């Protein structure tokens, strides 16, 4: 019963997270760009939103978690799907925002949905140096015309960052440098986003037994 309840909470949390992630990251990128411009043009700093630095960091953290869970619950309802489609159609009409949002949405969907063939395998690679193993996603085979060497087959691997997996590094490694991982992409994503806190249930022993 306890495990079922925890699995339901996890499902709702990640449902809400993956629903709002493309929109939030798109907004974040444009806010970052705006703040960069505001730094260059000081008069623009006076029209930035009021800082939340005076709020309790714990209260802000609880609010964000509650908001994500709420989105996860509402996303199960039919009415929100219509609202999301309407917001997406609105975003897709904005010339500068459209390519950014579309790219982020495709990446999030590819990393979290099993029906996508773009993510072929979850692996470990030695990155950024020897002896350090990093979780990555094999996205394809590098064409020999642009590969570092024609003597071996190179695979392209996307290395996501924590806690925003839509940003990261693209590296090319040989087959022998890939260490296969038994996690699927959803389990790997949960591990990356949580900073290693959330582990797949099938690898965690029940201490209560």
Residues 18-48 have pLDDT tens digits of 777 777 777 777 677 656 555 554 444 444 4
Sign of CA dihedral 205, 206, 207, 209: negative
Final residue before a domain boundary, out of 112, 147, 169:
112
pLDDT cut 70: percent of the chain above it: 65
- Domain of 133 in residue numbering reads as 121-201
Alpha helices in 41-77 (DSSP H): 57-74
Does residue 197 lie within any of the structural domains? yes
Q: Three-state SS for 25? A: helix
Final residue before a domain boundary, out of 79, 112, 145:
112
Structure tokens at 48: 């930035």
| 89 and 187 both lie in a single domain | no
Split into its structural domains, the chain has a count of 2
| 12 and 107 both lie in a single domain | yes
Q: What is the largest distance, in Å, between two alpha-carbon atoms of the chain?
A: 63
pTM, whole model, 2 decimals?
0.50
Final residue before a domain boundary, out of 91, 112, 133:
112
């Amino acid at each position: 019963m306890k495990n079922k309840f925890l699995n339901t909470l996890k499902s709702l949390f990640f449902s809400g997270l993956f629903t709002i992630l493309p929109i939030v990251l798109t907004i974040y990128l444009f806010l970052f760009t705006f703040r960069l411009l505001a730094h260059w043009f000081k008069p623009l700093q006076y029209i930035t939103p009021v800082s939340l630095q005076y709020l309790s960091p714990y209260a802000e953290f609880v609010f964000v978690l509650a908001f994500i869970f709420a989105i996860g619950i509402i996303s199960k309802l039919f009415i929100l799907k219509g609202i999301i489609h309407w917001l997406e159609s609105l975003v897709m009409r904005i010339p500068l925002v459209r390519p950014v949002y579309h790219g982020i949405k495709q990446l999030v969907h590819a990393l979290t949905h099993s029906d996508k063939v773009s993510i072929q395998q979850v692996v470990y690679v030695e990155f950024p140096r020897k002896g350090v193993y990093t979780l990555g996603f094999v996205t394809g085979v590098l064409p020999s015309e642009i590969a570092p060497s024609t003597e071996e087959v190179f695979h392209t691997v996307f290395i996501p960052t924590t806690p925003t997996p839509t940003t990261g590094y693209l590296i090319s490694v040989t087959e022998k440098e890939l260490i296969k991982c038994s996690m699927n992409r959803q389990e790997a994503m949960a591990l990356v986003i949580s900073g290693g806190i959330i582990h797949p249930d099938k690898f965690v022993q029940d201490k209560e037994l």
